[in-house]
Structure 1
Amino acid sequence: MRREIKPALAALGFLLAASPASAADPSALYTQHCAACHGGDRLGALGPALIPEALGRMKPESAMAVIAEGRAATQMPGFGEQLSRDEIAALAGFIQQPLAAVPSWEMADIEATHVVSHPPASLPKRPVYDADPLNLFTVVEAGDHHVTILDGDRFVPLARFQSRFALHGGAKYSPDGRFVYLASRDGWVTQYDMWSLQIVAEVRAGINTRNIAVSEDGRFVMAGNMLPHSLVVLDARDLTPVKVIAVTNGKGQSSRVSAVYTAPPRQSFIVALKDIPEIWEISTSETSRPVFGGFVHNHEAGMVEAIGIQSGLFAIRRIELDETLDDFFFDPGYANLLGASRDGAAAQVVNLNVGRRIATVPLPGMPHLGSGISWKSEDRTLIATPHLKESAISIIDTKTWRIVKRLETLGPGFFMRSHENTPYAWTDASLSQRRDTIQIIDKRTLETVRTLTPAPNRTVSHVEFTRDGRYALVSLWEDDGALIVFDAATFEEITRLPMRKPSGKYNVWNKIRFSEGTSH
């Protein structure tokens, strides 16, 4: 009979702090029971990396439960029969320890992981279904590490496939919406064909990846890594590795990547660094073009080039800041960037044309700018962002860069969404005791007009709209969860589809057309 693990959870703090004589050395336990699947260096093999960066917010008690009971819908077995409670606790503590040094992951390592399952030339010329390919949703189900492709007209799944462990950073599409690119926390990038409903290629671009972006012309995918400190350029056709860019400041200091996004009008990727106060603008065009601030570093030549010209494909223009940025949001024209650090009390407005900060916006309470939205209000554009540590939505005028409204909410939330065809914005309070609520805000009056409680005492989060904005999809973010579909005008529930902890859903049309209510 399997040993009972629950009593160990209650005593976890004691177990992790103690070193009971009965427990074997945790590194020896790891080598014996874990290394074959997760790698002797804990950086992953058949199974995911077991390091703090890859485990994310997994609590020690959750790690103990997985070690004891295994993980559903994966090859992870349970070790509750083989290991004692002390040994399980020791292992859980061991995998939460940081590595002694930043590991390397060079071009040869990346190339060795590259697999093309369905070459692009073999793919069909048209979709294999009769649904609208531009009104599909990619739904990430974190509960059992699967992805569902959902028809946004009939609300029926077209396909469901097993994903890499712990997808994050949002799904990104090719400009025509045919391919979706997904990144896992432990560095795997997956290319999936939305027409034939099958995986095209995979590659491991890093050991711990922050997020990915697709260039405006659909030629490249860029992965921003926390481990190692690098950016990796992939050929978007089949994820063939193209280039590895070391993230350094030329003075021997390296940095993790906070975020990377594409800036279509600028023909560039914009990168925020977590440990160096700089923004990088990386060209996706072979054509040189003028810039008006910052400086350009040519990695091939190993030198700083003349200020004023951004020269060629993957040339890096650096913009120095006063503080590092953890996340950022563009204004609709991509001339300005609003960014903030997680522990700061204010956000910086950086004009990308002149290459410097032009304003400061007081935004305490950890704004989640990557989940911000913007919309037109008469003759001005407003940006709204939720806060991770305060019960508020901050609404900012991009003409003056002043806060025009601080709207109180029921609790800190993670996501905010809208659509150009609706006058309403939807936001959650998923980081609070009111995690079961969705608040609906009128974008014209900047007031809350409705509060929904789709599943009392259960977490609801991450709203996304259909292509036409008629319906809003809400995640019941529980292991036995669901997608709940609402009429976006009447706020009435239409249907709910059972799913395993749907953490995010991404509409093809809204993402490729950069809908004003969808994160980019």
Structure 2
Amino acid sequence: MKKTTQYCHAVLLSALLSPVALSAEPNAHELYQNNCASCHGSDHGGYLAPPLNADTLKGRSPTALRTIVMAGSFDTLMPPFYGKLTDDEIRSLVKHLQTTPKLPNPAWTIDDMKASLKVYVSDETTLPAQPTYSIDNMDDVIGVAARGKYGRGEGSRAIFINSKTHQKLGEVPTGTAAHIIDYNPVNPRWAYVKTDTAEIFKVDLYSMQAVRSIKTGYNGPGMGVSRDGKYIMAGSFVPHNAVILNADTLEPLKTFELEGIDPDGKQVSSDSGMVIGTPYADVFAIALENAGQVWVIDLKDDFPVTRITDVGRHLHDAFLTHGGRKLMIASYDDSIVAAIDLAERKIIKKLEAGCVPHVGGGSAVVVDGRTLGFGTNFGDCDKTVVSVWDLDKMEVVKQVPVSGGTESPAAHANAPYVAVDIISKDRRARTVQLIDKKSLEVVKTLDVGGHAYFPEYSADGKFLYISAGYNGDEVVVYDSNSLEKSRLYPYGKPCRYFLAWSGSLHDTRLIT
């Protein structure tokens, strides 16, 4: 089962696979890769959105499918393709979807990666020594992954904002939809942006330009940066592999085939889930979604791997606590969050987490002397809650009832509330609910307007950023104490925020 993020289901665009004869329609494969693959998977097996292939669409009416493609899906922000594609192209595309099986795992080798490497600034000594804009501290930079209407072209970019002043510092076009923004922990000038088509851009934040890029696969958002800033690790959904890159040059150093024995005893090839670098040690951690394993890779010699097995079924997202030593990873199908000790390289405990647990980038904050972690539940469940754990004792403190399925929690030491986005397919999707850190009760519901999702606090905790708008094309900023709305920013389908103060931890909030 793939992750199906409701509010990032806009059909995106992907780089083409090598042309193959998959359909009687001469352009059908190309149409799919250019308009559907980056969300639904280059292998037709699903990615951010559900799989589209002969098995999953069996019995579906071609007329109904054409209507969805033409009109889009309001629930998911999939845009209408009427006017972008001709009627003949839409008919050809639908026929292709209903006759094409899920494809075998395609190859994307280390040689393919090397061939895809592009250099935009050959001499980095020519770059400015200081930022070309006014900013007190680079930790105040917040990155916005903007997807654009169709996930390609002008709307697809990484936008960087001063989270104290809310002023845009610059933007970097990414060609296809940006998904992850990460930062070099030892050199504040470098950021790394990964797209849904698995292309990584090395970005100079001082001059706001990309200096290099490399394509690491066909689909897959996972990316982390090592604590010394020397390495990047990237994982893929398609194909089932991961790679370690030189963070300076983006040259690939070693690839890993993601496969192993799952919790049911079956040998499986696996998608990549989260990828995390930690300030605790010179290691990466990567989740094998389908194999139920977490691998810890040492950054020495030939990058040896320690395999932690039987973590859970359908692993996905995770966050770090306790100086980066403890890794909390969600298991969708087991309704647990597993705590892993990265020093001992073993499971500490499996904590109850409600149905389809989703921790997003995770939220952990010290409240009255104890470290509390907050996890959401992805999708519609009979009992929609936010789970609260004592991460010092590794026990459940409370499950807080909320008004619907939730995706991404946000907390900050200087903000009184934990913010969670409601992702139901009705008016509740306009809202973000605020949980008081001390009482652990929902005390306020913000009606942001349109679909409201991916809340994130500024570096100092004074402001709460929310992606909003019926078309996902606004950034809304609230005062985190008064909850007064500051401004709206038309940034074009922002899907997630990434703060420089989060360090080199992929989609992670670190509590020391």
TM class, shorter-length:
0.7 to 0.9
Whole-angstrom CA distance in 1 between matches of 2:291 and 2:99? 29
Counterpart for residue 272 of structure 2:
257
Residue matched to 1:350: 340
Query: Which residue of the other structure, out of 215, 223, 226, is the alignment partner of 1:215?
Result: 226
Residues 1:412 and 1:519: Cα distance change in structure 2 (over 3 Å): farther
Aligned to 2:102: 98
Partner AA of 1:356 in structure 2: K
CA 1:161–1:62: 2 relative to 1, 3 Å = farther
CA deviations on 1:181-218 (whole Å, 9 max, x unpaired) are: 12222221111111111111111111222411011111
Distance 1:49 1:512 in 2: 28
TM-score by length of 1: 0.78
More moved, 428-437 vs 188-197: 428-437
The structure-2 alpha-carbon separation of the partners of 1:148 and 1:93, relative to structure 1 and needing over 3 Å to count, comes to farther
Matching residue within 260, 280, 290 for 2:295 = 280
Displacement of 1:415 in angstroms is 1.0
CA RMSD in angstroms comes to 3.4
Equivalent residue, structure 1, for 2:435? 441
Structure 1 counterpart of 2:127 = 123
Match for residue 340 of structure 1 among 319, 322, 330: 330
Q: Distance in 1 between matches of 2:510 and 2:430?
A: 22
In the comparison of the two structures, how many residue pairs are matched?
454
Shifted more, 373-382 versus 108-117: the winner is 373-382
Contact (CA 8 Å) 2:361, 2:509: kept in 1 or not?
A: no
Specify whether residues 317 and 410 from structure 1 end up closer, same or farther in structure 2 by C-alpha distance, changes over 3 A only: same
2:501 pairs, out of 480, 489, 509, with: 509
Kept after mapping to 1: 8 A contact 2:233/2:242: yes
Per the alignment, residue 308 of structure 2 pairs with 319
Residue in structure 1 matching 2:27, options 32, 37, 41 = 32
Change (3 A) 1:471 1:94: farther
- Work out which of the residue numbers 445, 460, 464 in structure 1 matches 2:456: 464
Shift of the 79–255 alpha-carbon distance from structure 1 to 2, 3 Å rule, reads closer
Rate the CA distance shift 1:172–1:234 in 2: closer, same or farther, 3 A.
same
How far off its partner does 1:514 sit?
A: 10
Question: What is the match of residue 422 of structure 1?
Answer: 415
Change in 2 beyond 3 A, CA 1:467/1:90: same
Unaligned runs of 5+ in 1: 1-24, 287-311
After superposition, give the CA deviation of every residue in 1:322-381 in whole Å (9 maximum; x if it has no partner): 534333333223333332321113333333333333322122311112332111122321
Alignment partner of 1:189 out of 183, 196, 200: 200
Q: CA separation in 2, counterparts of 1:366 and 1:118?
A: 44
Which residue type is aligned with residue 376 of structure 1? V
Give the C-alpha shift of residue 477 in structure 1: 4.6
| Corresponding position of 1:109 | 112
Secondary structure (helix, strand or coil) at the match of 2:220 reads strand
Query: Match of 1:451, as an amino acid?
Result: T
* Distance change (3 Å), C-alpha of 1:266 and 1:350: same
For residue 172 of structure 1, what is the aligned residue in structure 2?
Answer: 182
- Aligned pairs for 1:40-59 (under 5 A) are 49=42, 51-53=44-46, 56-57=49-50
2:396 to 399, 403, 409: 403
The aligned amino acid for 2:269 is: S
User: In the aligned structure 1, how far is the partner of 2:131 from the partner of 2:506?
Assistant: 23
Say if 1:509 and 1:346 are closer, same or farther in 2 by CA, change over 3 A. closer
Aligned mates of 2:206, 2:237 — CA distance in 1:
32
Pick 1 or 2: higher relative contact order, CA cutoff 8 A, min separation 6: 2
Query: What SS is found at the alignment partner of 1:112?
Result: helix
- Separation in structure 1 between the aligned mates of residue 68 and residue 235 of structure 2, nearest angstrom: 26
Q: Secondary structure at the match of 2:322?
A: coil
Per the TM alignment, residue 245 of structure 1 is displaced from its structure 2 partner at its CA by 2.0
1:142-181 alignment to 2 at 5 Å?
142-143=147-148, 144-168=155-179, 170-175=180-185, 176-181=187-192
For the 8 Å contact 2:22–2:29, the answer to whether it is kept is no
Instruction: Output the amino acid matched with 2:385.
Output: A
Post-superposition offset of 1:430: 2.1
Q: Counterpart amino acid of 2:362?
A: G
CA distance in 2, matches of 1:409, 1:323: 25
Unaligned runs of 5+ in 2: 1-20, 53-64, 73-77, 149-154
Is it true that 1:375 corresponds to 2:365 in the alignment?
Answer: yes
Quote the residue 1:65 is aligned against.
70
Q: CA deviation at 1:104?
A: 1.3
Residue 438 of structure 1 deviates from its aligned partner by 1.2
Match of 1:484 among 476, 483, 490: 476
Alignment counterpart, residue 80 of structure 1, candidates 86, 89, 104: 86
- The amino acid across from 2:338 in the alignment is Q
Aligned CA distance change for structure 1 residues 202 and 63 (closer, same or farther; 3 Å)? farther
Give how far 1:513 is off.
9.1
Give 1:321 shift.
2.2
Q: Deviations over 1:400-446 (max 9, x none)?
A: 32211111111111111122222221111123531111111211221
Amino acid at match of 1:154: T
What code does the residue aligned with 2:224 have?
Answer: A
Provide the rounded CA distance (Å) in 2 between the counterparts of 1:332 and 1:515: 16
Counterpart for residue 307 of structure 1: none
Say whether the 8 Å CA contact 1:463–1:472 is kept in structure 2: yes
SS of structure 2 residue aligned to 1:227: coil
TM-score, L = length of structure 2: 0.79
Letter in 2 for 1:28: A
Q: Which amino acid in the other structure matches residue 328 of structure 2?
A: L
* Residue of structure 1 in register with 2:210 after alignment: 199
Distance in 2, matches of 1:392 and 1:258, equals: 23
Residues 236-291 of structure 1 deviation map (CA, whole Å, 9 limit, x = unaligned): 1131222212224499753322221112212110111123232211112x3xxxxx
In the aligned structure 2, how far is the partner of 1:255 from the partner of 1:323? Answer: 13
Q: Structure 1 pair 348/37, CA: closer, same or farther in 2 (3 Å)?
A: closer
Contact 2:421–2:433 under 8 Å retained in 1 = yes
Match in the other structure for 1:21: none
Q: Match for 2:490 among 491, 498, 504?
A: 498
Matches within 5 A, 1:354-369: 354-369=344-359
Letter in 1 for 2:482: T
Deviates more, 1:209-218 or 1:85-94: 85-94
CA distance in 2, matches of 1:204, 1:478: 32
